Amino acid sequence: MPFDWDYLIGLASVKDFWSASLLVAWLSVLTWTIGVVTGFFVALARTSGPFWLRQLSGTYIWFFRSLPLLVLLIFVYNLPQLVPGLRPVLSNPFWAGLIALVISETAYIAEIHRGGLLSIDRGQHEAAHALGIRAFGKYRQIIVPQAFRVALPTLGNQFITIVKLTSLVSVISLAEILLVGQRLYTRNFLVIETLVAVSVYYVLIVTLFTWALSWLERHMDVTRRLTAEQVVPARLERKAAATTARKIGTEVVVALHKIRKAFGEKVVLNDISLEVRSGEVVSIIGPSGSGKTTLIRTINALQDIDAGSIRFHGAEWISAEAGYHLAPSFHADVVHLGMVFQSFNLFPHKTVLDNVLMAPRYHQMGKEAELRQKAEAYLEKVGMAAHAAKYPHQLSGGQKQRVAIARALAMEPKVILFDEPTSALDPELVGEVLQVIENLASEGMTMIIVTHEMRFATRISDRIVMMEEGKMVANVTAEELAEAPAEARIRQFMTQSEDHG
């Protein structure tokens, strides 16, 4: 029997096929959209929720990925036999099919989202914490845009799967494309020609939506964008030190009292007490694994403590005396405690200017024009004004770190914590970051700096603290260090570090 080309071409004008195609497209879009939203919350519950919620979401995913969609469709469509009140909704094949598809696809999409969430570097969460951005704002502005971008190719593939799965809804008499084709070839017996037409309609739907999803993927991928033009006039990067305005006050702004922290049997902080006064620059040095970074991270609760307490500007801040807890004002006041991370932790999906603006906008620290002007001024301060419209991937390591400093300054903090700000930089880029920090010190900014740059620490610090095996083995002023004997442990360590440098 010859292939009937005239019949196949004629099917292009069959109204029922076009109506069914629109129905399939609408059903697929609704299923995908609802599944993306519900799947995200299931994934979030599985990755960040309490134990019982993680177990519940895991069970949901396991069960509905195991259950064949065909079985679920028939069950949902016939559910009014057990619950008559559902008849007005579930007696409609479209709504019954949509509900069954959403229930099933949510389980698959949740795992796609979980992969996206797990791909986000922990530093993004820590940067949000340091900027005082709470959970909802963190996920809405920082985590979800990045995780969705990572998951989008797989989510697009899942949409194609959904389009094809809609053919199963014909078992509950929904007039989708396959059912229209079946009704035709049962009358004329032209099975092959009719199925070719059915395939063409499915391919057309998939092609159109694949193009749309590809456009969205390209739009969200900032790494494909050309180097942005600067949004403010270019200025020479300022290297000269600012006019000295340093004056160490008597007020103790940060006070650590008998801090202890252990990971299993390893004690990384052992009975550490330290006071930092207003305007003072304190450098924390010591060999790798001595507890330097752990110590500085306890100050803004990026690391909990097992014992001791921390006070900030004279008020209770963090305590472990009756179980670990934060002061009620912690989340409101953490904005006054800036932090610059070793690995920058810039938000890759936002421009340099938007990185600096994010926290002031979130905390509503002023009107948009005022905040923008201040952000540009801070970028100018660190020599990055000409790069305001670029994205982090378009910057060198030293430039990224200077943007991170500007982001911390934009919150107008009372104290800035630096966690080895130059350790991730190439040697030729270290100087530009150290110059910015030195300028801040000369302006009177209170700073606590974890560093391995011994010459820099000696030059800039009012006090140097040395850590070793979780203990504070030295806490000396610059004058006391200069007068210390050569055999003193801190002098030996600094000399050895300078020789290796």
Q: What is the full DSSP assignment across 445-462?
A: -EEEEE---HHHHHHH-S
Average pLDDT over residues 88-107: 94
> Quick one: how far is CA 215 from the chain centroid?
23
Give percent of the chain above pLDDT 70.
94
What would the two tokens of residue 96 be?
Answer: 């019954």
Q: Is the pLDDT assigned to residue 75 strictly greater than 60?
A: yes
- pLDDT number for residue 232: 41
What would the two tokens of residue 364 be?
Answer: 């509503």
Average pLDDT over residues 407-415: 94
CB 197, CB 11: distance < 8 Å: yes
Question: Range with the lowest mean pLDDT among 44-53, 226-235, 367-376?
Answer: 226-235
Average pLDDT over residues 356-366: 94
Q: Is the pLDDT assigned to residue 418 strictly greater than 70?
A: yes
322 exposed, middle or buried (CB, 10 Å; 0-12, 13-18, 19+)? exposed
Q: Is the pLDDT assigned to residue 175 strictly greater than 60?
A: yes
Using DSSP, state whether 99 is helix, strand or coil: helix
What amino acid is encoded at 346 in this protein?
L
CB 49, CB 57: distance < 8 Å: yes
Q: Is the pLDDT assigned to residue 320 strictly greater than 80?
A: yes
Average pLDDT over residues 384-395: 94
Give percent of the chain above pLDDT 90.
64
* Domains in the chain: ranges and CATH: 5-220 (1.10.3720.10), 252-348+414-500 (3.40.50.300)
Average pLDDT over residues 316-343: 91
Average pLDDT over residues 317-342: 91
Count of all residues that appear for the chain in the document: 501
- pLDDT number for residue 501: 54
Among 230, 298, 293, 297, residue whose Cα is nearest residue 259: 298
How many CB atoms are closer than 10 A to CB 303?
A: 15
Average pLDDT over residues 160-187: 87
Q: Is the pLDDT assigned to residue 235 strictly greater than 50?
A: no
Contacts of residue 10, Cβ cutoff 8 Å, sequence gap at least 6: none
- pLDDT number for residue 392: 94
What helix, strand, coil percent values describe the chain, rounded to 5?
A: 60, 15, 25
Which range scores top for mean pLDDT: 173-177, 390-394, 453-457? Answer: 390-394
Q: Is the pLDDT assigned to residue 126 strictly greater than 70?
A: yes
Average pLDDT over residues 114-130: 94
314 exposed, middle or buried (CB, 10 Å; 0-12, 13-18, 19+)? exposed
Among 393, 387, 381, residue whose Cα is nearest residue 353: 387
Distance CA 298, CA 358 (A): 24
CB under 8 Å, gap of 24 or more: what pairs does 92-97 form? 93/169, 93/172, 93/173, 93/174, 94/23, 94/27, 94/174, 96/172, 97/27, 97/73, 97/166, 97/169, 97/172, 97/174
Among 383, 388, 404, residue whose Cα is nearest residue 354: 388
Among 328, 338, 326, 371, residue whose Cα is nearest residue 353: 371
Write down the mean pLDDT value for the chain.
89
Average pLDDT over residues 311-335: 90
Q: What is the pLDDT of residues 431-487, one digit of tens each?
A: 888 999 999 998 999 999 999 888 888 888 999 999 999 999 999 988 888 888 776
Q: Which residue has the higher pLDDT, 2 or 496?
A: 2
Using DSSP, state whether 103 is helix, strand or coil: helix
- pLDDT number for residue 241: 43
